[in-house]
Structure 1
Amino acid sequence: MKARINHMTANPGAYKALMALENFAQGRGIEQELYELIKIRASQINGCSFCLDMHVKDMMKISNNLERTTLVSVWREAPCYTDAEKAALALTEAVTKLSEDGVPQEVYDKAREYFDEAEFVDLIMAINAINCWNRIAVSTGMYPGCF
């Protein structure tokens, strides 16, 4: 396999802009495990092997919990996630698959049970950041270990 292009060197300004979004989202106080769960779930949905590989490894460094790391795709049936994490994962799925159903009111309402307005926007920013990274990685042909 060979990556199509290296987006970081092909357009440093674009990379810098996305890093600014990432740094903003990451610095907003979302608990680190939840932040990685969001990244893993969006990357699974988007079929981004590069990001999925990275964030599974990051999650294992943070929690060293194989169950919480591997069951993200079936979070609804897995008792290892908190209700707040499940609400954030439902929101992650809705925002990632926005064209299918938008963000249904029940997903919004459930997220708001656990996250105030500012925290809700923080979640949206985190979800948007990983979706941007996924789209860059998939579009440029990135894969695990390509750099």
Structure 2
Amino acid sequence: MERITYQEIPNGMFENLRTIEDSIINSTLDRKLIEMIRLRTAQRNSCAYCVDMHHKELKNLGESDLRLSSLCVWEETPYFSDRERATLYFTDAVTKLERKRIPDNIYNPLLSFFSKEEICFLTLAISQSNTWNRLMKVFEFTPGNYKVSD
């Protein structure tokens, strides 16, 4: 049972978050990479609703079952490119922030694959995904009900 239903969310709250989503989607970042970030943050935060949603979105974008099932153990697999690996290291670091700066060995590899503008959007995508995870953990939207829109 949901603690807070979609209808009980204050007017404008999700719409304002959608504005940020639109800026991320309209950036030069690849949609599949954005969804991979979203699925990974949901896994790290144990957000069942968001895991379901982003798994379905990635499947709809043509992601393979092998990579989808292996994302939770990505460091132990050869299925992810160096670009994706740099992104996933960064995603994990930003999702589980420590009480210190993001280390150079996590940040610097991004510079080989992304412009500083794109790193800004990567950071925003990770932060935004964490925001959604936290909302869903409190609201307790029911996992399994998400439908990919065309």
Q: TM exceeds 0.5?
A: yes
Structure 1, residues 66-105: CA drift from partner, whole Å, max 9, x if none?
A: 0111111111121111100000011100110113554111
User: Runs in 1 of length 4+ with deviation above 6 angstroms?
Assistant: none
- 1:6 Cα shift? 2.0
TM-score norm. by structure 2 comes to 0.90
Give, in whole Å, the separation in 1 of the partners of 2:41 and 2:35: 10
1:77: which partner in 2?
76
Assess if the C-alpha contact under 8 Å between 1:94 and 1:101 holds in 2: no
Which amino acid in structure 1 is aligned with residue 120 of structure 2? V
Unaligned runs of 5+ in 1: none
Which amino acid in structure 1 is aligned with residue 60 of structure 2? K
Unaligned runs of 5+ in 2: none
What is the identity percentage for the equivalent residue pairs of Structure 1 and Structure 2? 31
1:117: which partner in 2?
116
Assess if the C-alpha contact under 8 Å between 1:26 and 1:126 holds in 2: no
Which amino acid in structure 2 is aligned with residue 96 of structure 1? T
Assess if the C-alpha contact under 8 Å between 1:50 and 1:144 holds in 2: yes
Q: 1:119 to 1:52 in 2, by over 3 A?
A: same
- 1:21 Cα shift? 1.1
- 1:24 Cα shift? 1.1
Give, in whole Å, the separation in 2 of the partners of 1:109 and 1:135: 28
**Which structure shows the higher helix fraction?**
1
Q: 1:63 to 1:100 in 2, by over 3 A?
A: farther
1:54: which partner in 2?
53
1:89 matches 2:88:
yes
Give matches, 1:123-142, under 5 Å.
Answer: 123-142=122-141
Give, in whole Å, the separation in 2 of the partners of 1:118 and 1:71: 29
1:6: which partner in 2?
5
Structure 1, residues 87-126: CA drift from partner, whole Å, max 9, x if none?
A: 0011100110113554111100111121110111010111
Number of equivalent positions: 146
1:40: which partner in 2?
39
TM-score norm. by structure 1 comes to 0.91
Assess if the C-alpha contact under 8 Å between 1:91 and 1:107 holds in 2: yes
Q: What's the RMSD between the two structures over aligned residues?
A: 1.6
- 1:145 Cα shift? 3.7
Give, in whole Å, the separation in 1 of the partners of 2:25 and 2:77: 26
